[in-house]
Each structure stands twice: as structure tokens, then as C-alpha cells.
Amino acid sequence: MTLQEQHVIATRRNSQPLQHSAMHEPVQTAEKMEDRVLGLTVLLSLFTGIRANTLCHIHSDWLVYDEGNLYLRVPNEFGCRKYGTDDPCGDCAQRVGNSYSPKSNAGGGRRLMIPEAWHNNYTGEDEAPTKIRKLVEHYFAIGDDDYGHSMLGGDGISISTANRYVKLVAQEAEIGFYLKQGYIDHSKLGRVPDVMVHDLRATYCV
């Protein structure tokens, strides 16, 4: 079985948003992860609601400041930069122009604010601070800053890797008992919470 076939099987279910009262633990855990890519994979999914393919293609050029706020600006089309080559990744190779584009026309051109606070249902705080903006600014080379990375993982990550990172953070946060879908036996990770990027996107969208 190919990796692509494994990915299709692993994600062949409807998305299941996290209970809002359960978001506290994965957010806190993601913010403290030593591996910043693992943490940002979860935080960007939760706080921007982007699709997995968009997450895996995020480039520092997409991050812009406006009136003191930091935004993720999703382009209508962007030359694929994954894996440090000029060749498009497997997904982009199937799209017009062999470049990244969002799944729907509505997905392109959006500006999604990278927040500094959120409503934490667990603690009841309306403006609970979050470290996502600081983490994004420290990890990515934004604007003329030549320090930092261009993409997650340096030159992008795959969707299967992103979903694996989400499971690792969920396992560390011990949120399996909060999930309607419970646990899954992962070929590489063993028994872990059955959560993926699409669930975090659904949590944002709820």
C-alpha cells in the first residue's frame, strides 16, 4: 500500500471538531513544544482554520503586517516551493499551472489574523493570551528579515506528516478521552488520539 493510499484510508471520515472546553490542553501543549514545527502545525490549524494542503504550503511571503496586526494572506496562486526544488509537489502537479492554489475560489485572497488572544472556554477568559503570534514571528522570516524559515519544516511538510504531528501533540495533551472518535492505532505512533488537521479546521469554523 502506498503512502497516498494510507493517507486516504486514515482520513476517510467526517471531521470532528474539538469540544471548545477541550481546546485549552492542546493549545497549552502546542505552545510549549520544543519542536516548534509540531506546535505551529496545531496552532495554525486551530487559530486560522486553513486546510491541510494550505498549511503544508505556508510560505513566509504570505505573512504580512497591517496596522500592527499580523496576517496570513492566502494567495490565489503561488509557485510551489516545497522540498527546496522548482518541481511541484504531487498535489500541485495536478493543478492548473503546476502551482499551489486553494481548494475553492473563496479560499484565495483571504487575510487571516494571527491572534494574540482567544476565548478560552476552559478558564472562562474572554481574552486569554496565546503565544501563536510570537511563535510565528520567531519561526518564519517575515518581510525583510533574513532570519528564520520560509516554510514549516524549512521547506514544507506533507499532509500525512502534518496529521502525524497533530496526533503527537494530542497525545502529549492527553485529549483522547475528550474525542467522540476516541483513539486510533497508527502504524508509526501506536495508539494515539484520532485527531487530524481537518478536525482542527472544523474546530475553528464552528
Q: What is the pLDDT of residue 9?
A: 45
Q: What is the pLDDT of residue 105?
A: 67
- Whole-structure pTM value: 0.89
Task: Of 75, 172, 124, 53, give the one whose Cα is nearest residue 44.
Answer: 53
Alpha-carbon Rg for the chain in angstroms: 17
d(CA 164, CA 157): 11
Mean pLDDT by 10 residues, the chain (206 residues): 43 81 90 96 96 95 95 94 88 88 75 93 88 96 84 95 96 88 90 94 82
* 49: helix, strand or coil: coil
The answer to whether the CB of 201 falls within 8 A of the CB of 15 is yes
